[in-house]
Structure 1
């Protein structure tokens, strides 16, 4: 008897998955893999080959699931279906918070109280079949469909092997996917697998308000988290021109990069969203009338094709521009104030350094042992601080050690880092995308549009590298936490190097309280197209080499 063949069966599975409140970092995220394994283990194939279904540990007490269905022992070609099961929190649901993980009840409430919903949501529910709930589109629908594909694989539908991979922590640091890559390499050797494609099931993202197009993605956008540690000069608030306020320095840096399209990456007409601030604050533990002379600002920076050398060079250019602006502004205000209280305007210089340059200076002038002790002290006493907080603290302590360089701006990177990846030119992907476009149009009247980069950030970033691992030195040397609690398996990614594709459901308002899924598209249309896509990836005669 089939488990996940009909729309009703799939909706039930999806609701069961959503009802597990697997917010990143919670206990529910830890035990959700047990549910997936429990459901899959009821399939006859995994009862015959239980060793093919595993709950694999990460280094931090979480787990990812692998489920391999081999066509027969001699078949090598394998499609990997990847998904993530963690979700963001539900604070934004307000009075509906207690039902955020109950799709059927929440949807009933929303349909009854639709006048309280945003106008666009009201329009949608009048014309479509939508199901609401946290994680419903991002991305437990993807897991649901992939489990259905595993059932079909167990029944011999596909002309090759299918490997399901579902991971935790995609929404924060991608611990799950980073831990999975070495395991995938081990499985390839153990089970004689040849990975043809990594197929993700992330939902489609609108490119502009009201976008109704259907997309298939041949890559995934990259992301860096650059930071600027500002060290000014301490002084009493009664003598502001005797110092330099670091909060002011940070604010000018934020003003320079915030929504600045000159920092966007553009490839074949596709453009990244401009950078925007994620963290900004003074580094001062308590109130006093001393000006804040240390501050930090971090921004989200999306990447398509730029190398890390390009990015560091661009960030330095912007920081140096701001440094000159700080100097000019300081002189201007000091000159104006001197008209009322005559004084000699002090000379001011603001240095711009990378974290790597600061490290080299510290090692030369204070010794590597002193630097290592400083880093160890922060790491050993991190407590519950997250990776961003620890990164900032290490950079801050190092600037204090080298305070003779102040005023200064230090450029660094904090976790997470997502490499950009695109398989748009890969012969296999080009061939299969063409076949899917034709099938979708012929049988469903859908005109897919191919996009080079999925713009929602995804774990596809960790299945290959666009540039050699050596080119990452500008990142690794400027990331205080690299190999000290955070890293990416760069060598394994070079070895893995599998083409990618993303084809997922239609959903709207990811990470918002109105997150919803188009049930008809997911469990009727896509349910029909997805097996065609998988078989095409397994049987295409297109060259498998880049």
Structure 2
């Protein structure tokens, strides 16, 4: 135990967590910057960082947000280092409704929920009756993890660990992971500057239920990957009074959504773990105002999880499905046109729908209209960004190039939008495998907790940006078809390959992330888990021949 500690006892940790939660650090808000400054200031109070000022840094991201690194070295020549990674941004609180003003006041909100227990959902009532739960935005996702990591850093300052600890806490994990993508090169620089060897990167994201009612507790040796494939459907414009003279983009997009939504052909199974199927995140036409021209341009975009499939395989599968839908559009349109022609004694019109990758469209545009014209379009789109996020900006760019090449229509254009989370997994790494087995045994023997191994943390995490399971050279089908790649968005793939850090996630028991009933099991977090994290760090720091 640290003498005159700040964050070692259960009550100290609870107070620390509540102070963090009380800063409303919604992604892209001023609170997101304030919480980074708060963490840096609190760590600066530790005597270690008053003596070693250069080891504590408040960094600025490319978009003027903040993240923090805090290095505690065991000794001048010690290389072995464990990174403690967390994020301090949270999602919004509109879903709290009448409770919204208390969403960032966890003790008060918890008190109110206990007082109104009978009005809570049934599963929440059960927890209120049987456990010690703390409610509030960010309590489980993931300011508890940050509070625990600050506690570990304080413990490291007293020399408790046989190696170095490096705390890294970042912004923007809930949206684009700008913080972690900016931090990855910093980790590489710090390794060179301070002569560090990264034994592991330890995250403490909360355990996620695999299915409704799942009460199991997990330890994760990896983190699931994610891509955002989109399809721009470019039909043919016409007046609504002559619908068979054109092709409605919404009709095209709806058939794509019907084909891909919850399509289990895209599910991967790795040692019994299954990726959720794709689901639509955006579907809309691209008309800017109401009129009686049909919406001949529309997009649909999907969330898609990946584990071990190659990018080439994923893109090929998406292309085949788009081709299948193109034939279905032609057949459906032809059948309706033929029926209509009988009604009015006319000749039916046929359509032929082509499928392109974005890079094929771009290549055609350059060959046909010249690089200068295409560069001008791209520059104009980027300069008119305004409040558009990366998804909207991507759609705008694909749309403008499709309009330029409208002679190719009707067409479906396959593209990708940010963010990209590479799948990472260390289940076969000897050190991670050894630590996981030890902690599972320790949890059972010491606390009667049955921890289950999971290969992939399914909630997405910044562990994706400390290693690269697939060679960067194998991701060309993704990067070539992501219009914003190196134009405002990128992942430092070469850095991730160089870092190549084994990963592990051990975090608190919580429920209902991103819901108004988000809550943390306080006894687990600041009792058994806090102890297990210290054990885990020591095991990760152990020399491989120990």
Query: Shorter-normalised TM-score: what interval?
Result: over 0.9
- Say whether the 8 Å CA contact 2:219–2:506 is kept in structure 1: yes
Q: What is the root-mean-square deviation of aligned Cα atoms in Å?
A: 0.9
Contact 1:216 1:449 (8 Å CA) reproduced? yes
Q: Specify which of 101, 105, 108 is matched with residue 105 of structure 1.
A: 108
Deviation by residue 1:501-531 (Cα, 9 ceiling, x = unmatched): 0000000000000000000000001011110
- Paired with 1:402 and 1:323, the residues of 2 have a C-alpha distance of 18
Alpha-carbon offset, residue 208 of structure 1: 1.1
Which residue in 2 is equivalent to 1:309? 312
2:266 equivalent in structure 1: 263
Q: Aligned partners of 1:97, 1:80: CA distance in 2, in Å?
A: 35
Counterparts of residues 103-502 of structure 1 (less than 5 Å): 103-502=106-505
Deviation, structure 1 residue 542? 5.8
Question: Is the contact made by 1:228 and 1:410 (CA closer than 8 Å) also made in structure 2?
Answer: yes
The whole-number CA distance in structure 2 between the counterparts of 1:202 and 1:16 is 19
Q: Distance in 2 between matches of 1:435 and 1:452?
A: 16
Distance 1:234 1:542 in 2: 69
CA distance in 1, matches of 2:413, 2:448: 54
Trace 1:41-56 onto structure 2 (pairs within 5 A).
41-56=44-59
Once the two structures are superposed, residues 320-339 of structure 1 have per-residue CA deviations (whole angstroms, 9 ceiling, x without a partner) of 11111101100111111122
Q: CA deviation at 1:398?
A: 0.5
Q: Is the 8 A contact 2:333 2:350 kept in 1?
A: no
Measure the CA separation in 2 of the matches of 1:414 and 1:280.
Answer: 14
Q: Deviations over 1:158-203 (max 9, x none)?
A: 0000000000000000000000011111101111100000000100
Contact 1:224 1:303 in 2 (8 A): yes
State the 4+ residue runs in structure 1 displaced beyond 4 angstroms. Answer: none
Is there any run of 5+ residues in structure 2 with no aligned partner, and where?
none
Give secondary structure in 1 for the equivalent of 2:342: coil
From the superposition, tell whether residues 542 and 343 of structure 1 become closer, same or farther in structure 2 (CA, over 3 Å): farther
The C-alpha deviation readout for 1:215-263, integer Å capped at 9, x for no partner, is 0000000000000000000011111111100011011111111111111
Q: CA separation of 1:273/1:11 partners in 2, compared to 1, >3 Å: closer, same or farther?
A: same
2:282 aligns to what SS in structure 1? strand
Pairwise CA distance, 1:126: 0.7
Q: Corresponding residue for 1:21?
A: 24
8 Å contact kept, 2:472–2:497 = yes
1:293-332 CA-partner distances (Å, limit 9, x unpaired): 0001101000101111111101101111111110110011
Distance 2:256 2:469 in 1: 30
- Partner Cα separation in structure 2 for residue 209 and residue 283 of structure 1: 37
Judged with a 3 Å threshold, the aligned counterparts in structure 2 of structure 1 residues 542 and 414 are, in CA distance, closer, same or farther, namely farther
Give me the whole-angstrom Cα distance separating, in 1, the residues matched to 2:207 and 2:86: 14
Deviation at 1:24, TM superposition (A): 0.1
Find the aligned partners of 2:365 and 2:8 in 1 and give their Cα distance.
63
Instruction: Verify the 8 A CA contact 2:26 2:92 in the aligned structure 1.
Output: yes
1-structure distance, mates of 2:475, 2:192:
27
Say whether the 8 Å CA contact 1:428–1:540 is kept in structure 2.
no
CA distance in 2, matches of 1:120, 1:505: 18
Alpha-carbon distance, 1:477 to partner? 0.4
Question: Following TM superposition, by how much is the alpha carbon of 1:351 offset from its aligned partner in structure 2, in angstroms?
Answer: 0.3
Tell me the TM-score normalised to structure 1 length. Answer: 0.99
Q: For each residue in 1:253-286, what CA deviation from the matched residue of structure 2 results, as whole angstroms up to 9, or x when unmatched?
A: 1111111111112212111111111111100011
* TM-aligned CA deviation for residue 365 of structure 1: 0.8
Please state how far the C-alpha of 1:540 moved relative to its aligned partner: 4.6
Structure 1: how far apart are the matches of 2:451 and 2:280?
33
User: Greater CA deviation, 34-43 or 397-406?
Assistant: 34-43
- State the shift of 1:115 in Å: 1.4
C-alpha contact 1:431 1:540 (8 A) present in aligned 2: no
1:432·1:540 contact (CA, 8 Å) conserved in 2?
no
Q: Render the CA deviation track for 1:364-419: whole Å, top value 9, x for unaligned.
A: 11111111111001001111111111100000000001000000000000011100
Helix, strand or coil: the match of 2:529? helix
Q: Is 1:90 the counterpart of 2:93 in the alignment?
A: yes
Q: Secondary structure at the match of 2:325?
A: helix
TM score, norm. by length of structure 2? 0.99
Asked whether the 8 Å contact 1:420–1:461 carries over to 2, the reply is yes
Deviation at 1:44, TM superposition (A): 1.2
Q: Deviations over 1:97-118 (max 9, x none)?
A: 0000000000000000011111
The equivalent of 2:37 in structure 1 is 34
* Candidates 38, 41, 59, aligned match of 2:62: 59
Unaligned segments of structure 1, at least 5 residues: none
